[in-house]
């Protein structure tokens, strides 16, 4: 098994992908919150490793949630997350296929969980972004069910 590594850089989505990879490990290897930080920081490389060495002195024995706050402040700033929420709010199918639209919807929904935390809200948001010609077919099928 290969551990996910994070080398830093300017792409915040790579930082988030690293977090997802690390959290996937936690599903298989449960550990204490402070142990999660130890495991995760073990996989940091290059500039991020040097950054953590500086941060670690004033953040000993912190849990995973606090580590994520510090990490995201540095590598996935709130302004970028806010832009992703806005992108999700404005998401429309446009020229995408339904499958492409669904993939983009799933990708961006994680930034706006408050908007899709109930199936009804998720379905309403998804339908609201469909092209009119497809939405008309969806609504016709729904009417025929009742």
Confidence of residue 10 (pLDDT cuts 50, 70, 90): confident
**Is the dihedral angle over the CA atoms 116, 120, 125, 126 positive or is it negative?**
positive
Percent of the chain scoring above 70 in pLDDT: 95
Domain end (from 27, 45, 76):
76
pLDDT > 90? residue 146: no
4 found inside a domain: no
pTM for the predicted model, two decimal places: 0.71
Query: Do 102 and 45 share a domain, yes or no?
Result: no
Convert the pLDDT of each residue in 27-62 to its tens digit: 999 899 999 999 999 999 999 999 999 999 899 889
Torsion angle of C-alpha atoms 118, 123, 126, 132, degrees rounded to 10: -150
In angstroms, the CA 69 to CA 11 distance is: 17
Domain count, the chain: 2
Output the pLDDT for position 3: 86
Output the pLDDT for position 2: 83
In angstroms, the CA 61 to CA 85 distance is: 32
3-state helix, strand, coil in the chain (%, to 5): 70, 0, 30
pLDDT > 90? residue 143: no
Domain end (from 51, 76, 101):
76
CA 41 centroid distance within chain = 19
40 found inside a domain: yes
Query: Do 61 and 102 share a domain, yes or no?
Result: no
């Amino acid at each position: 098994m290969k551990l996910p590594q994070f080398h830093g850089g300017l792409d915040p989505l790579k930082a988030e992908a690293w977090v997802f990879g690390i959290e996937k490990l936690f599903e298989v290897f449960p550990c204490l919150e402070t142990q999660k930080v130890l495991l995760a920081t073990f996989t940091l490389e290059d500039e991020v490793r040097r950054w953590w060495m500086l941060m670690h002195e004033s953040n000993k024995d912190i849990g995973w949630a606090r580590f994520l706050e510090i990490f995201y402040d540095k590598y996935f700033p709130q302004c970028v997350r806010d832009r992703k929420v806005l992108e999700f709010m404005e998401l429309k199918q446009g020229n995408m296929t339904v499958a492409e639209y669904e993939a983009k919807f799933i990708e961006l929904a994680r930034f706006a969980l408050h908007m899709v935390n109930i199936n009804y809200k998720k379905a309403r948001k998804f339908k609201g972004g469909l092209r009119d010609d497809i939405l008309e077919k969806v609504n016709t099928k729904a009417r025929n069910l009742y």
